[in-house]
Structure 1
Amino acid sequence: MILETIVEACLPHFENDRLGVPKYARFYNAIRDAIDSGRLVAGDKLPSEQELSARLPASLGTLQKGLKALADDGIIVRQHGRGTFIRDQEVRYEDIRVFRFLDQGRPLPLTLQGVGIQRVDIDGELARFFERNECVVIERLVQVENEPWTFNAFYLPLGLAEELLEMAPADFDGFSIHEYLHRSRQLLTTRFDHHLSVGEFSGAARRALKLDGQTTVGMQWQVHGYTRERKPATFQRFELQPGHRPVELKAQLDR
């Protein structure tokens, strides 16, 4: 039944008049449309990639790329040993989603690589935000399709990150920290405040991005995350290299 629903939703998106849209994006958009219309609901289990490939005019690789984009955007969830399911759209694991770019309406794929994790002392505005002088920072590299790499520093209180400190840098490749916090700590981040400025790259960003001496200044994108109770939860800093595509922020309603 679910397979037939997906095929019915997808086939119109693969018509010839949509040739300007990559096939993986057509599949992505078809699944989104099926969810928005109620044809697919939270908990529905998606067929295997092989089953989808056998029924849709798209290669296995194309469908895998579309499924990855859906997973990255929190629309589906992959559970090891169980399969892939439609995620509850009322519960969003906002992690790298705050760093999300579109090209003519299609979501651009992201690559996320772990750099390291460590305990750090904090002061100033960040210490006031967390109301403490120590926390954990997870450093990562993020790349939007064909764009320069971006450095990401993700801060959270030590009490929420003790288990994460045991992880190796590579374990954070594609890892959703917000989903981890929700599942292991029942902490859901629902509101984000964004601050954009231009400033010098941090030492950590310079090392991770391997910047030369000529590249000293870039976009500084800071994101404060809050719980439903409006309590401080997480803080992220993105440091974008010159030449990155323009940032577009849209209004976000509190739930």
Structure 2
Amino acid sequence: MTASAHTPPPLLHLTGVNGLPKYLQLRDALISAIDEGRWVPGDKLPAEDVLAEMSGLSLGTVQRSLRMLVEEGRLLRRHGSGTFVAEKQAPLGGPFQHFRFLDDSAEGLLPIYTKVVRRFAVNTAGPWDAWLSSDRLICIDRIFSINKEFDAYVQIYFCGRRFPELNQVDTKALTGVSFKDLISRRYHQPTSSYTQKMRICAFPDAICKAIKQPAGTTGALMEIVAHDARGDAIYLQHVYLPPNGRQLLIQP
């Protein structure tokens, strides 16, 4: 017997994480469906109104989630054809917060590709002590390739006891992962606010070498602290941005 044209599509199961906006829950549900093979690279996603029916959310919420996934490189829009799953070499998962570089149109965002350089225990005093109190402080160094035009060096400091998985998982599995998103989804600890500072300084020689810049390069050093709902620091990031011709979108 042929299925009726009015048979409702299978549901998308939202994460249901308290405090996580619906559009982020839908984003996570779509990513999970892709990672589980429900849709594979090259597949066309259902139309927006069908996704709204599958998720039980409004059309506007669906559209917001899809825009985010397009910006993150997980989906591709083809004018007149629809929305498709991108190839697996996807840029950084989002949502974007601090690395939103505008493209030539000044409306879209450049894709960002990540690579883990190293993970190590921090045994020395430093600026992280003002924010993080732990006897097991861990740092993960990554290189962010901005549209494969230039590289930024990113260091993230966190408490290894608070987030043990980040200290144990194979670092290859962290390629293309947003730590903010991972911590929110895996540990149910969404970021409520940020403290952000920036100064211009000469980069250490090792960082210049890692991002293929001349020794003594001067650029922007961003310090970003993520806070939970209680105001406690979740992690600290140091971002070394070399001189470049792109605009960085800065919003509260």
User: Under a length normalisation based on structure 1, what TM-score does the superposition of the two structures give?
Assistant: 0.61
Matched, 1:187 2:210: no
Change (3 A) 1:147 1:194: farther
| Partner residue, 2:102 | 102
CA distance in 1, matches of 2:94, 2:166: 22
Matched, 1:220 2:227: no
Alpha carbons 1:148, 1:244 under 8 Å: kept:
no
| Structure (1/2) with the larger helix percentage | 1
Change (3 A) 1:172 1:198: same
Alpha carbons 1:122, 1:133 under 8 Å: kept:
no
Alpha carbons 1:136, 1:161 under 8 Å: kept:
no
Matches within 5 A, 1:1-255: 38-39=58-59, 41=61, 57-58=80-81, 64=86, 72-74=93-95, 97-103=97-103, 104-132=106-134, 134-213=136-215, 215-250=216-251, 252=252
CA RMSD of aligned residues (A): 3.8
Query: 1:146: how far off?
Result: 4.5
Q: Which residue identity lines up with residue 232 of structure 1 in the other structure? A: A
Unaligned runs of 5+ in 2: 1-7, 10-46, 67-74
Change (3 A) 1:203 1:110: same
CA distance in 2, matches of 1:235, 1:155: 5
Query: 1:207: how far off?
Result: 4.2
CA distance in 2, matches of 1:204, 1:183: 33
Cα deviation digits, residues 130-177 of structure 1 (max 9, x gap): 134651111111122253110000111121343322333322211222
Alpha carbons 2:121, 2:138 under 8 Å: kept:
yes
| Partner residue, 2:24 | none
CA distance in 2, matches of 1:179, 1:146: 23
Query: 1:206: how far off?
Result: 3.0
| Partner SS, residue 183 of structure 1 | helix
Cα deviation digits, residues 13-45 of structure 1 (max 9, x gap): xxxxxxxxxxxxxxxxx97xx99x931547xx9
Query: 1:208: how far off?
Result: 2.3
Alpha carbons 1:219, 1:241 under 8 Å: kept:
yes
Q: Which residue identity lines up with residue 176 of structure 2 in the other structure? A: G
**Count of matched residue pairs:** 190
Query: 1:101: how far off?
Result: 1.7
CA distance in 2, matches of 1:236, 1:111: 17
Change (3 A) 1:134 1:207: farther
Alpha carbons 2:98, 2:250 under 8 Å: kept:
no
Q: Which residue identity lines up with residue 200 of structure 2 in the other structure? A: V
CA distance in 1, matches of 2:183, 2:250: 25
Structure 1 stretch displaced more, 130-139 or 145-154 = 130-139
CA distance in 2, matches of 1:111, 1:191: 25
Change (3 A) 1:73 1:171: closer
Alpha carbons 1:116, 1:168 under 8 Å: kept:
no
Q: Which residue identity lines up with residue 182 of structure 1 in the other structure? A: S
CA distance in 2, matches of 1:237, 1:150: 10
Cα deviation digits, residues 169-213 of structure 1 (max 9, x gap): 322211222233223322221211211111121355234224333
Unaligned runs of 5+ in 1: 3-29, 47-51, 75-95
